[in-house]
Structure 1
Amino acid sequence: MGEPAVEELCAQLIRFDTTNLGGGESKGEREAAEFIAAQLSAAGLSPTLLERSPRRSNVVTRVAGSDPMLPPLLVHAHIDVVPADPHEWTVPPFSGEIRDGFVWGRGAVDMKDMCATLLTVLHRWADEGRGPRRDIVLAFVADEEDNGEWGAHWLIDEHRSLFDGVAAAIGESGGYTVRAASADGAPVRLYPVATAERGTSHLLLSTNGRAGHGSRRNDDNAVIKLVAAVARLAEHRWPVRLTPAVQAFFERAGAALGFEVDLSDDDAVDATLRRFGPAAKIAENTVRNSTTPTVLAAGYKVNVIPGLAQARIDTRVLPGTEEELLAEVDRLIGPEVTREFLARQPPVQAPVDSPWFTAMAGALTAEDPEGVVVPFCMGGGTDAKAFAALGIDCYGFAPLWLPEDFDHRLMAHGVDERVPVEGLRFGTNVLDRFLSTV
């Protein structure tokens, strides 16, 4: 049959518009899921399509390993994408155009690239008569870009047996090139692998007051009370809380870069981050918790003081710190403002020093011998939150080589999202080596 070009598979996947609008509204993943299932079948596997509701499709299959005594590994990747406004783009966002050494389109790095590299590995195995040592469960899921209710969270609720015995999982985001410079100016290529991620505790703040005419004095104005509370949250400087993943990042990246690492207090941590230069981006959002106001809602007419004002706060919580954070939130917002959870998913934390991490590091450095693999904690969240609830050690590992002057962070959810063709080929080789040997 011959191994398909990974860039062509990535382009084909991008051409399926799987836009997730949020709140249960979606273009649907069905056509992309059917394409993935066909590729899996062509590689000799037996995929199953699972849907909570029509067109919200998940694809699950299992690759048999040579040693049934080894616990299975889960590989999960989502097939939905966030919206894209074509008027802002250089190319149509669902064109899957290949040009200038890149595959362009929404989902190129988040995360149809990983879907393509994984499918390419499976075709390679089928062509060469190879396979993994342990069983590998593959889950291509819906709805990661919202809350997983049609994807990973639904799968573990309704089809938990598919993941029986799984010991570890890999998914987004990690294993990509971060270009930095050492203390003497020499280039250093870091490859961060996520061993943790902050929890999601999105909050709704509400306060009531006395409704009335906007022209009259009102000492019980809900808008004023809410704005003051939100300002206190926004201005608060959360203290440094070093989790195992973040501390290990500082120690290992510092050694690779040749910079002094001082973690003795908050100011020292901030100074260490400044010394790290571009590498600081890996950890700067995960040395602290965060409470970011994102939505304000109050009133319906300019001359009417409303009786209710509300705000939504994107709250991210480091492992082991939620109780401390919520107590401080309550102090900052005061007794006249109430809070409730809009979403509450706990942090994820897997062992840094494990055979899984060692195998990922080995696969990366086999393809880039001068690369340095470091653990890190993700600032946001992924479907790992669903699978970690089953006791699975979850890692962010979607390997990708990135060229100079390519800002990976600006690509995901950004305009003109694209992925380098050479990066896809690198990722395929790394993933092949890891899945074949772990």
Structure 2
Amino acid sequence: MTDSTPTREQAIQIWQAGVDAVASDRLVRNAVRVEGQTLRVLDERFEPGDWDRLVVVGAGKAGAGMASGVAEAVADSDWAKKLTGWVNVPADCVRPVPGFTLHAGRPAGVNEPRPEGVEGTRRILELVRGCGPRDLCLVLLSGGGSALLVAPTGGVTLADKLAVTKLLASRGADITELNTVRKRLSAVKGGGLARTSGARRTICLAISDVIGDPLDVIASGPTVADESEGPAALNVLQNYCSNRTELPPAVWAAVERGSHTGGVPDSVRTEVIGSNAVAGAAALAMAAKLGFVQMSDGSAVAGVAREEGARLIELARANADTVVDLPLCIASGGEPTVALSDAPGKGGRNQELALAALDAVWDAPDGLNGAVILSGGTDGEDGPTDAAGAVADDAVIARGKALGLHPRPYLDRNDAYPFFEATGGLLKTGPTHTNVMDLRIVLVPAGG
């Protein structure tokens, strides 16, 4: 039995168990393996004599780990000699992987399309376009793929796409809404990559960073037909941008004409191999080992980050009386949004959520009353910062009050990072090489 008072270290251990369960190389090795000389991908078998090349392309924050999983799976087999790989990843994820070029498609902590991503995507499209009837193509996709797989459609520039993304994100658009628009501005998203492939068989392995794991939304669905209705992208733009002059005319024109939408060949298959639900279940399994009663808040939590922080406080209070002899662990997954102020400071949605939780109890005599709330991005990134998220506990409250700080002004200007930097609450992990949205851990002492 664990001590009745939870600790920050336990919250981190439980969170890390969830992240480890969706390690990208592990997920890929479960899906790709060589038995004798036969390559197995999911439930399909491929004999080396029937294929000239194994072409592997992809994009995402988990790209380096996914590439390593493929390289390890085919090592010491005939397939290793057939392997040619190119994957666009964030700059801090670049590392040597046999058979692969890991291309820095954007700088670390800058989750937006960049010219280097455009160049990397050009090389990817060259590779898949050059595939023939004796080539097998694997596509490795993960969260962050939308910003790393970039090929603006005719008439739309990279600057135009950036303007759209920044405006929608600043006004609280969620990932599904963002991707609905981005697919209409791209020659690679919405099935564009699949339609380019000349391979006899193309299989996409995806690690989902989207609520509900919709295939057409993960990395904006480069291997999946666009399932959104024709007016959907236009409706998103009109909802968040009533003044047409705020966006370039080329953007409105591309969205209104529907861009390049269409189906994908029957030779293309896309499957999810990892998700937030897997991470949440693994986190609760670790909590059980540590002696906690377990409760799931689900893996589809959206909403607004500052409201979710307050909601988690209420959830902890509501369930505090249900555990008497053992402490409680609540695992919560998903991805809330942040509505930015006119002059936002430094932070991310996980840091803002944790800060909102602190704000909800700041003036209470007992503070968090021994509870611990950790909110972290499973990719190791949270906004344009070097933190994965933050931890809120009574120690952070004590340091903040000793320094004369109050969370409310920081919360109002989306400036959580300096607050947690000063109070010792930042969660820093570096790149985790996976991405299944966010994972939050709430620990409540026994007896409330």
What TM-score results when the alignment is normalised by the length of structure 2? 0.27
Give the strand-richer structure, 1 or 2.
1
Give the helix-richer structure, 1 or 2.
2
Q: Which has the higher contact order (CA 8 A, sep 6+)?
A: 1
What TM-score results when the alignment is normalised by the length of structure 1? 0.28
